[in-house]
């Protein structure tokens, strides 16, 4: 493990497992790098190095009082990849992390990145816009942000429960809720507002590297037709893989299939 300073007084926690082709994982809201545990324990056996990053405000990274938006997350990611000094990494983002990856590719011209993976990605746009009337009502994101300041434990518990297609164990839900509660309340609230405000459609043009889109058809948090299909349409060199037996938590519910696809794609 290591800590990388991305600005004065702000450090991001980075964990590495294994050696070989590097996959850099960017977690989703409101979790941390630990959500990819069931990738970390398998992929290194297949010659894949796993690098997990806690975004600013989450997990074991610094939690300053600051603005939390996709530009900031993308800039932090650039600083980490610069410091790691790796080339041609596979950059994988889950949910909000998929939005961070999208913004990174547009804002920083895909520096250090050889391939991209979108896993249940919240990208390129979720909330309704004048030219995107099929989107989710923006009030849903504002209500979640408000809930973070009123009963964050309930928001965390409800979100953990909503991620699964089949009923998970109470212990698994508790693990995800605990992970969520490790985040900064401000980061958690501001980040979900940023998800509601985001429109990353113009960034898709910057993604020219091979891209793998893994998404569940049952996903309620990031509906398949609003995100996965739009990514597939907007990214020139993209493959879309449908996951049929999971919801948002495909990283756990269909971990064997996801891991297999990641290994094939990284190689």
Domains recognised in the chain with CATH numbers: 2-125+200-266 (3.40.50.1820)
- Confidence (pLDDT) at 199: 97
The pTM for the full model equals 0.97
Distant-in-sequence, close-in-space partners of 122: CB < 8 Å, separation ≥ 6: 28, 29, 95, 96, 98, 99, 195, 198, 221, 222, 227
Choosing from 95, 156, 184, 216, which is the catalytic residue?
95
- Confidence (pLDDT) at 125: 97
Q: What is the pLDDT of residues 181-213, one digit of tens each?
A: 999 999 999 999 999 999 999 999 999 999 999
C-beta of residue 30 within 8 angstroms of C-beta of residue 156 = yes
Beta partners for 93?
A: 26, 118
C-alpha span between 159 and 221 (Å, rounded): 9
- Confidence (pLDDT) at 217: 98
- Confidence (pLDDT) at 245: 97
H-helix or E-strand spanning residue 73: helix 70-84
C-alpha span between 239 and 233 (Å, rounded): 10
C-alpha span between 176 and 161 (Å, rounded): 9
- Confidence (pLDDT) at 58: 98
Choosing from 61, 180, 219, 246, which is the catalytic residue?
219
Q: Which ranges constitute the DSSP H helices of 85-218?
A: 96-107, 139-150, 152-162, 170-181, 185-197
C-alpha span between 82 and 96 (Å, rounded): 22
C-alpha span between 243 and 256 (Å, rounded): 11
The list of the chain residues with pLDDT below 70 reads none
Q: Among this protein's residues, is 95 annotated catalytic?
A: yes
DSSP 129: B
- Confidence (pLDDT) at 265: 98
Question: Does 30 sit behind a cis peptide bond, omega within 30 degrees of 0 on the bond before it?
Answer: yes
């Amino acid at each position: 493990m290591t800590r990388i300073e991305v600005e004065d007084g702000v450090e991001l926690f980075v964990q590495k497992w294994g050696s070989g082709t590097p996959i850099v994982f960017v977690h989703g809201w409101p979790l941390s790098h630990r959500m990819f545990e069931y990738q970390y324990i398998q992929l290194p056996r297949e010659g894949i190095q796993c690098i997990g990053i806690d975004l600013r405000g989450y997990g074991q990274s610094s939690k300053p009082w600051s603005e939390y938006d996709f530009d900031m997350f993308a800039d932090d990611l650039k600083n980490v990849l610069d410091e790691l000094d790796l080339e041609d990494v596979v950059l994988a983002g889950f949910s909000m992390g998929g939005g961070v990856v999208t913004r990174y590719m547009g804002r920083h011209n895909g520096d250090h990145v050889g391939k991209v993976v979108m896993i249940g990605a919240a990208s390129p746009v979720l909330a309704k816009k004048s030219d995107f009337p099929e989107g989710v009502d923006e009030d849903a994101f504002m209500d979640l942000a408000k809930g973070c300041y009123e009963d964050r434990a309930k928001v965390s518990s409800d979100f953990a429960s909503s991620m699964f297609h089949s009923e998970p164990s109470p212990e698994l839900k508790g693990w995800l809720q605990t992970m969520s509660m490790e985040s900064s309340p401000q980061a958690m609230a501001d980040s979900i507002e940023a998800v509601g405000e985001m429109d990353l459609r113009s960034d898709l043009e910057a993604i020219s590297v091979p891209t793998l889109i893994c998404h569940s058809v049952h996903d309620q948090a990031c509906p398949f037709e609003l995100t996965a299909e739009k990514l597939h349409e907007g990214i020139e060199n993209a493959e879309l893989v449908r996951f049929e037996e999971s919801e948002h938590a495909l990283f756990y519910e269909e971990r064997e299939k996801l891991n297999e696809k990641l290994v094939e794609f990284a190689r």
